[in-house]
Amino acid sequence: MKFIGDRKGVAEEFTSLPALVIVMIGFAIFFAMFANVYMAHNEKLKAAELAEAAHYIALKLTNAESPLTDAPLLINKEKWDDVVKHEEILRKYCKPSSYNYSISISSPFVSDFKMIGGKAKGDRMSVSMKVAIKLADGDVKYGKLIVTVWREK
């Protein structure tokens, strides 16, 4: 083991190897961080696309022309039940290309709103919008319309 016994050689090894290790660790950390940021950026873009589609659908379904409403943001329970039976009315009114959606109502006052639309598949995004719910003439409660959107494969 002459090398070990060579003081110069040992000294050189002990200075360069730790430096090499540090550089390699920096290299690995840098790429791990970059990959992470890039993936997060892509995920955020996908989420932003879905959120925009969900927001569009929520606005479309709560405007005055919607088959669910009597006036902007006023959902009529009777119309909702009609649409549950004849979903094609809703699909004809709001059929976003490349996306599918389901809608439901969440309210502490009303529990018998059936969900409209199929079960979400894959990545999805939900948005909610505060709405008024007309149960009968003069009987209006508040609640939230929840729109869940996913990409059609």
Residues binding another protein (CB under 8 A): 1-4, 6, 8-10, 12-13, 16-17, 19-20, 23-24, 26-27, 30-31, 34, 38, 41, 45, 48-49, 52-53, 56, 59-60, 63-65, 96-99, 151
70 vs 107 by CB, closer to another protein: 70
Q: Could you tell me the smallest distance in angstroms from the CB atom of residue 125 to another protein? A: 13
Which residue has 């932003």 as its token pair? Answer: 48
Neighbours of 57 (CB within 10 A): 22
Q: Could you tell me the smallest distance in angstroms from the CB atom of residue 56 to another protein? A: 5
Q: Could you tell me the smallest distance in angstroms from the CB atom of residue 139 to another protein? A: 26
The answer to whether the beta carbons of residues 131 and 142 sit under 8 Å apart is yes
Q: Could you tell me the smallest distance in angstroms from the CB atom of residue 135 to another protein? A: 25
The answer to whether the beta carbons of residues 142 and 75 sit under 8 Å apart is no
Q: Could you tell me the smallest distance in angstroms from the CB atom of residue 115 to another protein? A: 21
9 vs 114 by CB, closer to another protein: 9
Q: What are the structure tokens assigned to 33, written together?
A: 């961080």
96 vs 141 by CB, closer to another protein: 96
In DSSP terms, 134 is beta-bridged to 76, 140
Q: What are phi and psi of 6, to 5 degrees?
A: -80, 110
74-76 β-sheet, strand order: 69-71, 74-76, 124-136, 139-151, 99-106
Which residue has 């950026």 as its token pair? Answer: 41
38 vs 142 by CB, closer to another protein: 38
24 vs 115 by CB, closer to another protein: 24
